[in-house]
Structure 1
Amino acid sequence: MTVVTRFAPSPTGFLHIGGARTALFSYLYAKRFGGKFLLRIEDTDRERSTQEAVDAIFEGMAWLGLKSDFDEIYQTRRFDRYKEVVQQMLAAGTAYHCYASKEELEQLRAEQMARKEKPRYDGRWRPEPGKTLPTPPAGVQPVVRFRNPADGQVVVRDLVKGEIVFDNRELDDLIIARADGTPTYNFCVVVDDWDMGITHVIRGDDHVNNTPRQINILQALGATPPAYAHVSMILGSDGAKLSKRHGALGVMEYRAMGFMPEAMLNYLVRLGWSHGDQELFTHEEMIAKFDFDHVSASPSRFDMEKAYWVNHQYLKTADLGLIAGEFDWHLRRLNLDPANGPDLKAVIEQQRERCRTLLEMAEKSKFFFADLDGYNEKDAAKHLTAESATLLEALDHALAALPDWDVPALHAAVNGFAETRGLGLGKVAQPIRVACCGMAVSPPIDQTLFLLGRERTLARLKAAVSFARSKT
């Protein structure tokens, strides 16, 4: 058997953390067993589905690298197939027409609730042996209901929650096609999973109550139900329902915040799954080690600080070329031209120990790619003084005379300059940083000057000298 899993979001909003984790679990499980993973857009809710949300889902999945093994699938393009199956079920007697009006059903519901009963359809149009049905009212378009088994149980052997038993008497005859002929969610899902050969349905535990209904429809169609795994919800770090203040953001917002997609996947996979004490996983390790034996049935907690920690570990250790593409993206978002500066990988190598996110890295690297638009006021007041102006002017002459502009030569020049004047390196390096970077924080000064290049460095030293003397 080839394992086939699916991620089937409704395009009524952006791809959020919970959905991304479900997609990841589905992807990893399929890949571990050499199977297939598909993305299916469940867009039958035409009022709430938007193209913007569809685009956001595809964008988020692409950024995370969760690639579908099939062409794009949209439920709204399969309506003919759903209607075909409805007709088959009507002919087989596993579905029937119901002419009950909305007003009738509302009255039924009110009466049941008044008696403190569970609201449910009472089967008034359900054909039964010896039962006489009323004459269909003229001009009324009926809905189509599934003829749910009247007795017995549905036993779901959930891969996460264990065995769950549902009594069929508690399940009413749900609508599978509306009066206008459009199919309903639970029915579309069943037909899709059947047609697409889905072997494992991995989804949030808010779908648990849909499962017995879907299994009954599949069995009525003569299909073998897939295995089910319902993953627990994600809570905030304080145990409350996950909200924006905890990190319940669209996936692409995490990109804007400076997360690496690989780090985001690593953090998500650990929300409810573990492999011993291991915290960090390569893409290959996630595929090789993921299983449902170690997926917790208890809710997991989203911890933004832990997410930042994971991201920082990736920035510190990942291949520079892998980081460079995302770094380029962030620089451009800050209206910086990556071509107007040093090699991106060289900048990343110098900045990645000190930055938790790529956004932070891009903001702290602006001076490499654009002219300074001023100095940090506090740093300038401390380090760009009349005294430092004399030092910077002398240093400008010393650096201009260097035959080679490389790290060893710059290191020797700056350190030798400080020593000959009996100054600690900080007394020289900090004025240089403010002069060349606009602030008193940068990578090691020899690396900084090398990456800036001779022309930019000397021009900025001269500008800083003029600035410092203009204050006196």
Structure 2
Amino acid sequence: MTGRFRFAPSPTGYLHVGNARLALINWLMARKSGGEMILRLDDTDSDRSTPEFADAIEADLLWLGLDWSELRRQSERSDAYVRAFEALKAAGRIYPCYETAEELEYRRKRQLARKQPPIYDRAALALSEEERSTLEAEGRKPHWRFLLDQGVIRWRDLVRGEVEVDAASMSDPVLIRSDGRPLYHLPSVVDDIDFGITHIIRGEDHVSNTALHIQIFAALKAPAPTFGHIPLLTGPDGGPLSKREGSASLREMRESGIEPMALACLLARLGTSENVELRASLHEIAEHFDISQFSRAAARFDPAELAHLNARLLHRMEWADVRERLDLDGATEAFWLAVRGNLATLDEARGWWQVVTGPITPVTEPESESLRAAAARLLPQGALDPSSWKAWTDAIKAETGAKGKALFLPLRLALTGRDHGPEMNNLLPLIGRAHILARLNGRTA
């Protein structure tokens, strides 16, 4: 069945890995169903929402490879929310309340002290017209609550299966603040109705919201979409995600060298029983995606796993995949094939390009001087190729008796300035004779 999905972030900050996971899952579901995903910016909080964050959200999604069929902003739809408010008011499903935040907090504390659930007591429903007029004459402006039908709210969840929530366990939600601004619940439901959303995939922290929304859909005489609630991410130790462990923004991930496909491959399987597999494209991920594979247990996000996956992805990339991105004047396919297996991020290739083209300061210990002198004399004549390294080191070994680490480490340090790295048989022809001889003699080259 063709579906209409949506990703609905608030432009009050940069997207983090949890946001990216939900955006990706909605996109994959849309593609697999032959449908589409709408990007909805929940920007009714004018105090915190900014155009800069909105632009950053779009940029981050495009970096991850996700697109959308429509871009809608809640800040442009106030008339639709007013109409819905009036419809609910006419149906008797919304009522004015005059308690201050301090009064509500006092009641909540009293309920807790009496070991009662901190649920709004619907005291405002008992107010007479005269009492309301008196409160308004005092300068109080009402906030408006949705009148929940008491009873059990049920739905079939794509992840959690059969879900039941007792409406009696919840307070009537505030839909409109005293300053007239709508809160999350009303705009969200109205938009889902108006935009024809068929599936809502979001975090499990929205389960109670979904119960409320199902009643608001019904009150507005609209069918409720199909829901799916994805377990939240935790850190590698099972605790809450810290900024260091993954709540860092996608922008920071991008700047640190994370490949978008590495992140997408991980997030598409994180929380399922299936192994993470590297795929060539998001469309290939979509072909193998199955939301029913998500468990109800929290999924652990480990930055070390992402880093490992990122390196694996780089190690299998072809020259055509990176040629334009490297932006290294003169770099060749031979260079890429020589160094890719040692990269954790693409930017690290620049360091190896410096090793190949110079200048670098060789690491030359006094005790290796005689070995390096012999190496300079025995460097094969003519063009160097991958077979030159073995022929060269065999000759050095035969003359000096050095072998193993005593032979190879001084040569690597002198030629690259590093104690580990790509196979020297591939680096040797790239470094070239002039650099090799200069570095063996301890000269910066």
Q: Same fold (TM over 0.5)?
A: yes
After alignment, is 422-431 or 440-449 more displaced?
A: 422-431
Does the aligned pair in 2 maintain the 1:96–1:127 contact within 8 Å? no
Q: Distance in 2 between matches of 1:113 and 1:133?
A: 31
Structure 1 partner of 2:30: 30
Q: Distance in 2 between matches of 1:464 and 1:322?
A: 35
Alignment partner, residue 80 of structure 2:
81
Task: List per-residue Cα deviations over 1:268-296 (Å, max 9, x = no partner).
Answer: 12211244x56444434421121222111
Q: Which residue of 2 aligns with 1:338?
A: 328
Is the Cα–Cα contact under 8 Å of residues 341 and 422 in structure 2 kept in the other structure? no
Cα distance between partner residues in 1 of 2:407 and 2:111:
83
TM-aligned CA deviation for residue 101 of structure 1: 3.7
Specify the alignment match of 1:65 in structure 2.
65
Aligned residue type for 1:213: L
Name the amino acid aligned to 2:339.
Answer: Q
> Which of 369, 375, 378 is the aligned partner of 2:362?
375
TM-score, normalised with respect to structure 2: 0.85
Please tell me whether the aligned partners of residues 384 and 464 of structure 1 are also in contact (alpha carbons under 8 angstroms). Answer: no
- CA distance in 2: counterparts of 1:368 and 1:55, whole angstroms: 39
1:250 alignment counterpart: 249
Instruction: Please state how far the C-alpha of 1:84 moved relative to its aligned partner.
Output: 3.0
Cα displacement string for residues 201-227 of structure 1 (whole angstroms, at most 9, x for unaligned residues) = 111111111111111111111111111
1:179-215 Cα shifts (integer Å, max 9, x gaps): 2221101112111211221111111111111111111
Give the counterpart letter for 1:15 in structure 2: L
Alignment partner, residue 125 of structure 2: 126
Letter in 1 for 2:200: V
Counterpart Cα distance in 2 of 1:250 and 1:423: 54
Distance apart, 1:120 and its partner CA? 2.9
**1:435 to 1:107, Cα distance in 2 relative to 1, 3 A:** closer
Give the match for residue 341 of structure 2. 353
What's the secondary structure of 2:293's corresponding residue?
Answer: coil
Residue 433 (structure 1) shift: 4.0
Match of 1:441 in 2: 420
Judged with a 3 Å threshold, the aligned counterparts in structure 2 of structure 1 residues 342 and 434 are, in CA distance, closer, same or farther, namely farther
* CA shift for structure 1 position 171: 3.0
Q: Is the 8 A contact 2:362 2:415 kept in 1?
A: no
| In 2: Cα distance, 1:435 partner to 1:312 partner | 27
Answer yes or no: is 1:407 the counterpart of 2:375. no
Q: Does 1:183 align with 2:182?
A: yes
User: Which shifted more, 107-116 or 292-301?
Assistant: 107-116
Paired with 1:110 and 1:449, the residues of 2 have a C-alpha distance of 74
Secondary structure of the structure 1 residue equivalent to 2:172: coil
The residue type paired with residue 210 of structure 2 is T
Conserved 8 A contact 1:153-1:168: yes
In 1, the alpha carbon distance for the partners of 2:245 and 2:132 equals: 56
TM-score (norm 1): 0.81
After superposition, where does 1:17-166 map in structure 2 within 5 Å? 17-71=17-71, 73-126=72-125, 134-136=131-133, 137-138=136-137, 139-149=139-149, 151-166=150-165
> 3-state DSSP class of the match of 2:124?
coil
Tell me, in whole angstroms, the C-alpha distance in 2 between the residues paired with 1:269 and 1:319. Answer: 23
CA distance in 1, matches of 2:101, 2:180: 16
Whether 1:235 and 2:234 are equivalent positions in the alignment is yes
- Is the 8 Å Cα contact of residues 393 and 461 (structure 1) preserved in structure 2? no
Aligned length: 439
Distance 2:242 2:366 in 1: 43
Distance 1:431 1:95, change over 3 A: same
**Cα deviations across residues 417-455 of structure 1 (Å, max 9, x unaligned)?**
648857779788655544443234343434324334x5x
Aligned 8 A contact 1:9 1:42 in 2: yes
After TM superposition, give the deviation of residue 412 of structure 1 in Å. Answer: 8.6
SS of corresponding position for 2:334: helix
Return the alpha-carbon distance in structure 2 between the equivalents of residues 440 and 382 of structure 1.
Answer: 16
CA RMSD of aligned residues (A): 3.3
SS in 2 for 1:2: coil
Match of 1:462 in 2: 438
1:256 Cα deviation after fit: 3.5
**Residue matched to 2:13:** 13
Are residues 133 and 15 of structure 1, via their aligned partners in 2, closer, same or farther at CA, if it must alter by over 3 Å? Answer: same
SS at 1:353 equivalent: helix
The structural deviation recorded for 1:390 is 5.6
Tell me, which stretches of 5 or more residues in structure 1 are unaligned? 329-336
Judged with a 3 Å threshold, the aligned counterparts in structure 2 of structure 1 residues 158 and 236 are, in CA distance, closer, same or farther, namely same
Contact 2:5/2:26 (CA < 8 Å) preserved in 1?
yes
Shift of 1:19: 1.7
Deviation at 1:86, TM superposition (A): 1.8
Q: CA, structure 1 residues 12+370, in 2 after alignment: closer, same or farther (shift >3 Å)?
A: farther
The reply to whether residue 307 of structure 1 matches residue 340 of structure 2 is: no
Q: Aligned residue for 2:372?
A: 388
Is the partner of 2:342 in helix, strand or coil?
coil
Where do 4+ consecutive residues of structure 1 move more than 6 Å?
A: 422-429
One-letter identity of the residue aligned with 1:447? N
| 1:332 counterpart residue number | none
Alpha-carbon distance in structure 1 between the residues aligned to 2:78 and 2:401: 79
Can you give the 5+ residue segments of structure 2 that lack an aligned partner in the other structure? none
Deviates more, 1:45-54 or 1:258-267: 45-54
CA distance in 2 between partners of 1:209 and 1:142 (Å):
24
How many angstroms apart in 2 are the aligned matches of 1:82 and 1:63? Answer: 33
Against the structure 1 CA distance between its residues 430 and 219, is the aligned structure 2 distance closer, same or farther, given a 3 Å change threshold? same
